[in-house]
Structure 1
Amino acid sequence: MKRYLTISEMAKSAGISRRTLIYYDQIDLFKPAKVGENGYRYYGIDQYFELDVILLLKNLDVSLEDIHIFLKNRNVDYVLDGFMRQKEKVDDQIKKLNIIRGSLDSYIERYTTLKNFNLESITHSYREAESFVISDTIESYDDFDSVEIYGRFYNSVDSSDLFSGYPIGFLVDGSAFYQENFHAAPYRALIKIPEDRLHFYQQQRVVRRPAGDYVSGFMKDEIHHINTFNNRFRNYLKEHQLELNGDIWELLWQDETTSEQPEDQVFEVLIPVKRKERN
């Protein structure tokens, strides 16, 4: 009766590669029963069951270092405790992956919207309330002070919120609407925060966009598009007997992720409105 298997026979029976068995030998995880004078590795038939345990644990994503310790402590209590710890690790990974999955869904929805946006369209619709964390006031987007403000702001926001896939927002004082180019007025940057995560942020840094009626439209960050947009927006309000009812909210739908040209950036402008009172 055959007592030993060559490395190729052991690898084939276990469904792994010779290279894997050589590596396991090198790190003292699973060594051959003997090495012949010719340097060939030979494995005992009974070693197959120990290799089976290693492959089981590897399939459960247990690290090789932990498998090494596991093999020296094989009893029910240690195995149960080890599996419980591994389950907690997997649960943490699932939670992280679900966050990543949610961000990917948001990015896909965002860029799908971007593919179908219409620069000529203006919409009057009801918007649900949303909450944001807000930066300090930024006077100009292209000076050193603005870089410092952005840096402090982004560092204060958790990465899962910062990279959630929702467009970064901007808040402009409503009085700027009557300026020649309200898009160039001082503003504050916004990051949307889910309601169940607001408690992670200081209350004074949280601002809420009220639910209500908004007139919205898309524009490109290029002076011709901005001027055209401003005129269309003001004319729309005049024609529909609407007036400004709060501050100006902007969402940056297209950013550096999809274009390296600043003039290709696409903003959605949302202005809260109400019906003009008749005299």
Structure 2
Amino acid sequence: MKKYLTISEMAKYAGISRRTLIYYDQIDLFKPAKIGDNGYRYYGIDQYFELDVILLLKNLDVALEDIHVFLKNRNVDYVLAGFIRQKQIVDEQITKLKTIRNSLDSYIERYSTLKDFDLESITYSYREAESFIISETIEHFDDIDSVQIYGRFYSSVESSDLFSGYPIGFLVDGSAFYEANFHAAPYRALVKIPEDRLQIYNQQQVVQRPAGYYVSGFMKDEIHHINTFNNRFRNYLKENGLELNGDIWELLWQDETTSEHPEDQVFEVLIPVKHK
């Protein structure tokens, strides 16, 4: 009766490669019963059972170093506790993957919007309220102070919120809308935060964009075209009997992710309005 299997026979039984069995031998996880005079590895028939345990644990995504410990502690209490720990790890991975998936959905929706945006149209529509975390006031966008403010602000925001896929925003005092150089007006940076996550942030940082009617439109290359854009907005408000009713919100829909050129940036400007 045959007592030993070659490495190829054991690999075929387990549905794994010879290379995997060699690696398991090298790390002392699963060693052959003997090494022949010819240097070949041979496995005992009863080693099937131990390999089955290893493959079971590997299928449950247990790390190889943890499988080492499992094999030395094969009793119900230890294995049960180990499986409970592994389930917790898997649950954490599922939560993380769901967050990544939600972000990908947001980015896909965001960049799909960019394929159809219209730089010429101005829209009057109702917008639901949204909550944001807000930065300190930034006086000049191109000096060292602004860089430091951005650094403090972004480091205070959880990465899952900062990279959620929703456009980064900016808030400008409504009075700046009528100034000659709107682009030079002080502003604050914004990151949208879901309602169920607001409690983890300092409430003094939270600001809400009120529900209501907004006049909005897309604009490319804000630095060079903001004043022309504002003139179009002011004319639209005048022609439709509307007036400014709050601060001005900007959303950066196209950023450095989709273009390396700053002049390709695409903003959506939202101006809260009411009828005169």
Q: TM-score, normalised by structure 1?
A: 0.97
State how far apart, in whole Å, the 2-side matches of 1:181 and 1:160 are: 35
Match of 2:183, SS state, is: helix
State how far apart, in whole Å, the 1-side matches of 2:97 and 2:202 are: 27
Alignment root-mean-square deviation, CA: 1.0
Q: Unaligned stretches of 5+ in structure 2?
A: none
Other-structure match for 1:65: 65
Matched, 1:2 2:2: yes
Q: Unaligned stretches of 5+ in structure 1?
A: none
Q: 1:222 to 1:209 in 2, by over 3 A?
A: closer
Match of 1:137, SS state, is: coil
Give the conservation status (yes or no) of the 8 Å contact 1:131–1:208. Answer: yes
Match of 1:267, SS state, is: strand
Aligned length: 276
Other-structure match for 1:209: 209
Shift of 1:223: 5.1
Other-structure match for 1:129: 129
Q: Tell me the percent identity.
A: 86
* Structure 2 letter corresponding to 1:67: I
State how far apart, in whole Å, the 2-side matches of 1:230 and 1:263 are: 18
Match of 2:135, SS state, is: strand
Other-structure match for 1:31: 31
Runs (4 or more) in structure 1 with deviation over 4 Å come to: none
Other-structure match for 1:180: 180
Q: 1:226 to 1:57 in 2, by over 3 A?
A: same
Give the conservation status (yes or no) of the 8 Å contact 1:181–1:230. Answer: no
* Structure 2 letter corresponding to 1:220: K
Give the conservation status (yes or no) of the 8 Å contact 2:222–2:267. Answer: no
Match of 1:136, SS state, is: coil
State how far apart, in whole Å, the 1-side matches of 2:135 and 2:146 are: 10
State how far apart, in whole Å, the 1-side matches of 2:181 and 2:60 are: 59
Shift of 1:186: 1.0
Q: TM-score, normalised by structure 2?
A: 0.98
Match of 1:5, SS state, is: strand
Match of 1:74, SS state, is: coil
State how far apart, in whole Å, the 2-side matches of 1:78 and 1:154 are: 43
Give the conservation status (yes or no) of the 8 Å contact 2:183–2:227. Answer: no
Other-structure match for 2:274: 274
State how far apart, in whole Å, the 2-side matches of 1:18 and 1:188 are: 60
Matches within 5 A, 1:232-251: 232-251=232-251
State how far apart, in whole Å, the 2-side matches of 1:3 and 1:128 are: 74
More moved, 78-87 vs 232-241 = 78-87
Deviations 1:51-108 (A, max 9, x none): 0110110010000011111011111221111111111110000000000000000000
State how far apart, in whole Å, the 1-side matches of 2:142 and 2:79 are: 59
